[in-house]
Structure 1
Amino acid sequence: MPIAVDIDVMLARRKMSVGELADRVGITPANLAVLKNGRAKAVRFSTLAALCEVLDCQPGDLLRWELGEPGEGHGQARGQGEDDGAVGG
């Protein structure tokens, strides 16, 4: 996926554990790990906002776009009723 997640960088800068961040944001450590490791298909804005508030950062400090393989993730339509894989709540 061409979106890279840099939560690890912010955790290190803030000297905070994954468990502490998950508790303060209000998501499970498992869901945070999915997001942190780049396996999430989506993230809710409310979750992104909570991450930014707790980590005292901007969304761009957590997410960045990387040029991927040609055709990767571009122009693919989603089916109706498909689980969006969003993290957070």
Structure 2
Amino acid sequence: MAIVINIDVMLAKRKMSVTELSERVGITLANLSILKNGKAKAIRFSTLEGICDALDCQPGDILEYKKVEDNKPI
């Protein structure tokens, strides 16, 4: 996937657990785990807004684009 999710990085910077983030945002641990592990195919803007609000960050702090070269994994 060319979009990398950096929730782990922001959680570490804010010294926050995944459980605390899921409670603040209002999404299940399972859905947050899917997102955090890069398995999600989409994210709602309201979810992204909630994550950014809880982590006091910008969407660019969480989402990163990495160009994937032909037949080369990230």
* TM-score, reference length from structure 1: 0.77
Unaligned runs of 5+ in 1: 72-89
Please state which structure has a larger fraction of its residues in helix. 2
Partner residue in 2 for 1:14: 14
Where in structure 2 are the equivalents of 1:1-89 lying within 5 Å? 1-70=1-70
Cα RMSD, aligned residues only: 1.2
User: What's the CA shift string for 1:46-72, capped at 9, x where partnerless?
Assistant: 00000000000000000000011439x
Query: Where do 5+ consecutive residues of structure 2 fail to align?
Result: none
The structure that has the greater radius of gyration is 1
| Aligned sequence identity (%) | 63
Runs of 4+ more than 2 Å apart: none
Deviations 1:34-89 (A, max 9, x none): 00000000000000000000000000000000011439xxxxxxxxxxxxxxxxxx
